[in-house]
Amino acid sequence: MSQAITQRQSVLIWVWLAALMLLGVLLSSLHLPHRIVVLAVLGLSTIKAVMVAAYYMHLKFDAKFLTVVAAIPIPFGVILAVMVLLDKPWAR
């Protein structure tokens, strides 16, 4: 059966998610090249999605089959993100 995370762990994960979100907002307000900001925010979003899936969706504690089923769409998301990034003219 699955193990539950404690309330302390849940709050700590929430703090990490909030900090990563604030880091993404901070990066977007700095005067950095647009491509670097987009790639950094996509990376931070990926980390946040993995944390949410692992802890709040309990994939870390469930059967490996469910983790594989949940991970199948990830390559398609990466391909879509790359296609969108390559489609935009980087004229800034």
Burial category of 32 from C-beta neighbours within 10 Å (exposed 0-12, middle 13-18, buried 19 and up): exposed
Residue-level pLDDT at 92: 54
- Residue ranges in the chain assigned as alpha helix (H): 7-29, 34-51, 64-71, 74-87
Instruction: Render pLDDT for 30-85 as a digit per residue (tens, 0 to 9).
Output: 999 888 898 899 899 989 988 888 888 777 777 788 878 878 888 898 898 888 87
pLDDT, position 1? 42
Nearest of 82, 78, 22 to residue 46 by alpha carbon: 78
Residue 16: what pLDDT?
A: 95
Q: Is the pLDDT at 19 greater than 50, yes or no?
A: yes
Q: Which pTM does this prediction carry?
A: 0.69
Cα(57)–Cα(62) distance, integer angstroms: 9
The pLDDT of residue 90 is: 59
Angle, vertex CA 41, rays to CA 15 and CA 29, nearest 5 = 90
The pLDDT assigned to 38 comes to 86
For 2-11, how does the pLDDT look when each residue is reduced to its tens digit (9 = 90+)? 467 888 988 9
